[in-house]
Amino acid sequence: MTLVAQSIESQTGNSDVQLDGGFLSGLGVGYVIHNNLAIELAWEYRSNESNTTLPSNNSPYEGNIASNLFFLNSYYVFNTPSSWQPYIGAGVSWAQEVDIDLEAQGSERSYSSDGDTGYQVFAGMLFKVDDTWSWQG
């Protein structure tokens, strides 16, 4: 079977994307600038199997969605008397690659982009292991 690639950039209207299991990997390193303020550089790669219905076709496409992202984040950590400390933060991201592949009935539609930026705000909890190391989620 030969697959023919077609662009999905021309699609307009509502689409339905159902994500299945996948793979996620990431790593971040940070530095405490002043008592409660920290910065972080982070990387994240994710890939998920997907079922996608496009506006031009009622039959779902099987495929996958993958991305490779880099982040620059800033955190404010709230002091508590315990090792558990809540935080809030904001950051900017850069998409090194976003790749969407859709396959149905022997044909493939694909979309790939890079160089896009994004923004995020978040909250979480960290566990202070000692004065140098902490785990966060």
Q: Closest Cα to residue 54, out of 2, 108, 96?
A: 108
Give the pTM: 0.70
Token duo for residue 89:
């933060």
Token duo for residue 87:
């935080």
Q: Does the structure show a pLDDT above 80 at 78? A: yes
Going from the N-terminus, what domains does the chain have, and what CATH number goes with each? 14-136 (2.40.160)
Span 16-56, pLDDT tens digits: 778 888 999 999 998 989 889 999 999 999 999 888 777 76
**Rounded Cα–Cα distance for residues 125 and 85 (Å):** 6
